[in-house]
Structure 1
Amino acid sequence: MSSSSYFRSWMDGPMLDPESNLLNDEYARGVGEFMELACQQPIVLQTRKLKCPCSICRNSHNIRIDLVWGHLYSNGFMPGYKIWFLHGERPEYISSSEPYIVDSVEEPRTEVDYGVGTVEMVNDAYRENMQSMGQNVDRLEEPNAEACKFFSMLDAAKQPLYEGCREGHSALSSASRLMTIKTDYNLAEECVDAITDFVKDILPEDNHFPGTYYEIQKLVAGLGLSYQMIDVCEDNCMIYWREDEDRTRCRFCQKPRYQETSGRVPVPYKRMWYLPITERLKRLYQSERTAGPIRWHTEHRSNGEITHPSDAKAWRHF
């Protein structure tokens, strides 16, 4: 690990020596440390390719090892990637005397990552459901409703989109990726329907790509990450929730909650999507990859010096 004043500080400094305009020695050693770790992964030994974490690729491309060297030397590392979890590193292997400091927390976007781990997500969701019901998954004799839902999701996670497609692409991974795209770019449901219709049409026949936004919702909903739709004042004065759930006018601006329509179902002027945090925290703690970093501030050990805010008495009191 880096011997700098804080964890892997060479990633934040300049790559080039300002006097000689050559590669900084500390940065070159750091790149060598990264490549030595990354090249030990079995998949890298087999394919001679790995995800490039440079500031341009940002772990989005699997490329040849020699090209990764060149990218890191010319482009530098992507910001915040100080625990190399996509290249074989785990937080428990990091020295507690060097606190983990990141500039930003960012989930790398990759073509492959949308597919990798989908089966694990399904298993996590199923295991949590079974535990809450007090059942032993290994001793199930007859599939109940939860088990049937799980096996349906598992089929969607494992079944290739079409015969001969690239490994890791399934109906469930595609649905997850499309939902992410919809959220990131605030796409309308009609737009997602148009995308799915187009993609399904150009893929080989008998493909399993979801054909509509409704099908995407059904696939992703099985993972258990629920949401609530809450009516909002059109001027964002308040939300119609809890004690205000039955109000028909805003208690601040007095504007009506619902539009004037001829239908029986009232249509609010504005709505918000509320994502309950409890289920999402459960998912983070169910995954070994994310649970470790979340618990790090409590479980790590120091030599008595304050190397991270969590070592201080004020943090533990808080």
Structure 2
Amino acid sequence: MNDSRIWMYDRLENGYMRNEFFNGVEEFVNFAKIHPEVMSCEMMHCPCNRQKCKNRAYHDEDTVKEHLCRYGFVPNYYRWHHHGETYIAPEVEHCVNPSSLSQVEHVYDIHEMVNDLYNSVSIGDEPQSPNETAKNLYDMLMAAETEIWKGNSNGHSQLSVVARLLNMKADHRISERCYDDICQLISELLPGENCMTESFYSTKKLIRGLGLPIDKIDCCNNNCMIYWRDDSELQECRFCTHPRFKPSSYRGVKKKKVPWKRMYYFPLTPRLQRLNASIETAKHMRWHEDHIQDGDTMCYPADSPAWKHFDATHPDFAAGFEM
């Protein structure tokens, strides 16, 4: 990371824009303007964190400034390769096409990310079969360290490739069938000895090692209830008696029952564990406790009398966030 560009992600102070950020935006725009080869006439890539931009859309310089001040920079854009700044990955001697470097910097952080996620896993010296958590760790480390094919100039691993593909799938709403076809095409383009995943199903099996589960919960078609806990075995709604599953046209053949409606629940506990597992994100989890209040100005709910009263009334609960 370029230490001189820390200002890019330090935009606000007490709700107001920092002078360093505003001056940095001016410096960035001036830098982009002297590289017309990556511009479209008077338009340049907008690197703001707005969903429709993120270095994909072109805007004039005034709009780019406005977007950056409003939305901030897209994460980890310390190297301005979309705006004319060249970048050669460390320890790579091959000539790399700059247009393919938008995610190269993330490749070298994959191994550290996996170690952060499982930094609490300890493995004893005695030979024993690994538990499920340790087994997932081994699988993720192997995927993180294994090159997608030996000798690739960007150093991509299996994990870095599927992480980028999943991000593209979410950004562009790619269907699972299209994702499978993309994986198949990439596998055909790579040398014979490659470890590219062949489908969305195999990708999910790999990413499952991150330990961020999703609970699928059947719902009443009329939104009366969810089939959860004590009601998980019911076959019809307790309120409107609407059947839980769609009727099957295959008589005498056992088929998987399909619910009329289903919701997806993201359990909070493992996600909080992941946020506290990484050194970089854990410090932000304590911000509400460690931030400095500007006089009597309330800039966060923790500054309110109600929050402080709750902390004083329930010290055990408040102490849990200070660990």
Q: TM-score range by the shorter chain?
A: 0.5 to 0.7
What's the CA shift string for 1:25-72, capped at 9, x where partnerless?
x94x3447889xxxxxxxxxxxxxxxxxx97134867xxxxxxxxx97
Q: Distance in 2 between matches of 1:72 and 1:292?
A: 35
Given that 2:14 and 2:299 are in contact with CA atoms closer than 8 Å, whether structure 1 keeps it comes out as no
Q: Is structure 2 residue 157 aligned with structure 1 residue 170?
A: yes
Q: Distance in 1 between matches of 2:284 and 2:183?
A: 36
Q: What's the counterpart of residue 313 of structure 1? A: 305
Q: Is structure 2 residue 119 aligned with structure 1 residue 127?
A: yes
Q: How many Å apart are 1:292 and its aligned residue?
A: 2.0
Q: How many Å apart are 1:303 and its aligned residue?
A: 6.0
TM-score (norm. length: structure 1): 0.63
- What is the identity, as a one-letter code, of the residue corresponding to 2:285? I
Cα RMSD, aligned residues only: 3.7
Q: What's the counterpart of residue 284 of structure 2? A: 293
**How many residues align structurally?**
248
- What is the identity, as a one-letter code, of the residue corresponding to 1:229? K
Q: Which structure would you say has the larger RCO, counting Cα contacts within 8 Å and 6 or more residues apart?
A: 1
TM-score (norm. length: structure 2): 0.63
Q: What's the counterpart of residue 200 of structure 1? A: 187
Q: Distance in 1 between matches of 2:298 and 2:24?
A: 21
For residue 145 of structure 1, give the secondary structure of its aligned residue in structure 2: coil
Q: Distance in 1 between matches of 2:72 and 2:242?
A: 48
Q: What's the counterpart of residue 145 of structure 1? A: 130
What's the CA shift string for 1:210-254, capped at 9, x where partnerless?
111121011101111112221122344432112321221123443
- What is the identity, as a one-letter code, of the residue corresponding to 2:268? I
Q: Distance in 1 between matches of 2:27 and 2:284?
A: 21
Alignment CA distance shift 1:274-1:81 (3 Å): same
- What is the identity, as a one-letter code, of the residue corresponding to 1:271? R
Q: Is structure 2 residue 255 aligned with structure 1 residue 259?
A: no
For residue 262 of structure 2, give the secondary structure of its aligned residue in structure 1: strand
- What is the identity, as a one-letter code, of the residue corresponding to 2:234? R
- What is the identity, as a one-letter code, of the residue corresponding to 2:233? D
What's the CA shift string for 1:190-213, capped at 9, x where partnerless?
332222112222223212211111
> Which of 103, 126, 134 is the aligned partner of 1:111?
103
Q: Distance in 1 between matches of 2:106 and 2:140?
A: 16
Given that 1:114 and 1:177 are in contact with CA atoms closer than 8 Å, whether structure 2 keeps it comes out as no
Identity %: 34
> Which of 271, 282, 286 is the aligned partner of 1:280?
271
Q: Distance in 2 between matches of 1:202 and 1:84?
A: 30
- What is the identity, as a one-letter code, of the residue corresponding to 1:312? S
Q: How many Å apart are 1:117 and its aligned residue?
A: 3.1
Q: Is structure 2 residue 8 aligned with structure 1 residue 7?
A: no
Q: How many Å apart are 1:112 and its aligned residue?
A: 3.6
Q: Distance in 2 between matches of 1:164 and 1:31?
A: 38
What's the CA shift string for 1:78-125, capped at 9, x where partnerless?
34338987659xxxxxxxxxxxxxxxxxxxxx5246535322232133
- What is the identity, as a one-letter code, of the residue corresponding to 1:250? C
Q: Distance in 1 between matches of 2:141 and 2:147?
A: 12
Alignment CA distance shift 1:315-1:162 (3 Å): same
Structure 2 residues not aligned, in runs of 5+: 1-6, 30-43, 80-101, 311-323
Structure 1 residues not aligned, in runs of 5+: 12-25, 36-53, 62-70, 89-109, 131-135
Q: Distance in 2 between matches of 1:181 and 1:273?
A: 21
Alignment CA distance shift 1:72-1:298 (3 Å): farther
Q: How many Å apart are 1:126 and its aligned residue?
A: 2.5
